[in-house]
Structure 1
Amino acid sequence: MATPNPDKAFPVSWDQFHRDARALAWRLAGQGPFRAIVCITRGGLVPAAIVTREIGIRLIETVCIASYHDYQNQGQLQVIKTIAPDLLADRGEGILVVDDLVDTGKTAKVVRDMLPKAHIATVYAKPQGRPLVDTFVTEVSQDTWIYFPWDMGYTFQPPIRDGA
């Protein structure tokens, strides 16, 4: 992914993200039953919390995969934490995987390899990664940079760890 293009910026407010995540839950409500949610961290944490509330799933697991190391360029994928063995046992049967966005599809591919029978859902999808997800709410162009509410104040807010 290249440096964000300010002409193709898609800022998402907390209110809009909540509405979109609830819309995702609405689409997923008839897809189950799901016995667990696996959220892809960090971006999948917020939509997974909303989806699990809306459709009533209590078992929540994470898979931690780092791909954006500088908020602009997608680098080498690193699996920091894998999925609990009992959820891997049936190749993902009955598992719902949630993330905020599928971009290039690299992260989704890693998770799909771990859980080939899981249902992967994202709030937003870009064309390159779209074939790897089963359910999504909004598609944006590949060259659009989505600014999520947790990344913004009145202007972009770098993480505290970056010295801001």
Structure 2
Amino acid sequence: MENPQAPKAFPVSWDQFHRDCRALAWRLSGQGKWEAIVCITRGGLVPAAIVARELGIRLIETVCVASYHDYENQGELQVLKTIDRKVVDLNGGKGSGVLVIDDLVDTGKTARVVREMLPEAHFATVYAKPMGRPLVDTFVTEVSQDTWIYFPWDMGWQFQPPIATSTQG
């Protein structure tokens, strides 16, 4: 019998993730005139590229926020890079006409920090957990709070630790 306290595993293949990102782009099409994308790195890089392609958006900016430092536990939030002022100032500032893209909203800690930077932006994620869902305007799939999503970039035939952590001695 499985331990009821153990998180549920939700492995996502590249093919499934691509389909889910295209579904996100489909939901976003027609919702507004998007002038830029701000992707939350690192998880938002792949979905932002797919959404940008599907919606014909050329201006892509990053905001670099680190919250998972060991691939298991959400730690202290660190803003490593803020959003370029030119993007923040679009349409009079506050993020109007800007899409913020991430792979997942979990507890909402990251989304809250970025929402402060762009209060009028449209937040979109591929996956959403209940605690973070109120902070997202558009998402594709909701998963339970105790689900751990294994993204395709974390996977080989089995979990692959990042090269940087496996070579440190």
Task: Give the TM-score range, shorter chain.
Answer: over 0.9
Distance 1:40 1:32 in 2: 20
Distance 1:128 1:28 in 2: 22
* 1:34 Cα deviation after fit: 0.7
Distance 2:70 2:124 in 1: 25
> Aligned-pair RMSD on alpha carbons?
1.1
Which amino acid counterpart does residue 165 of structure 2 have in structure 1?
A: D
* 1:20 Cα deviation after fit: 0.1
Which amino acid counterpart does residue 125 of structure 1 have in structure 2?
A: A
Alignment of 1:146 onto 2:119: no
**What TM-score results when the alignment is normalised by the length of structure 1?**
0.95
Query: SS in structure 2 opposite 1:72?
Result: coil
Query: SS in structure 2 opposite 1:57?
Result: coil
Q: Which residue of 1 aligns with 2:104?
A: 101
Structure 1 residue runs of 4+, over 4 Å off? none
Q: Which residue of 2 aligns with 1:76?
A: 76
The percent of aligned pairs where both chains have the same amino acid is 78
Q: Which residue of 1 aligns with 2:121?
A: 118
| Contact 1:5-1:145 at 8 Å conserved across structures | no
Count the aligned residue pairs.
Answer: 160
The unaligned stretches of length 5 or more in structure 1 are none
Distance 2:74 2:96 in 1: 29
Distance 1:16 1:84 in 2: 32
Query: SS in structure 1 opposite 2:99?
Result: strand
The unaligned stretches of length 5 or more in structure 2 are none
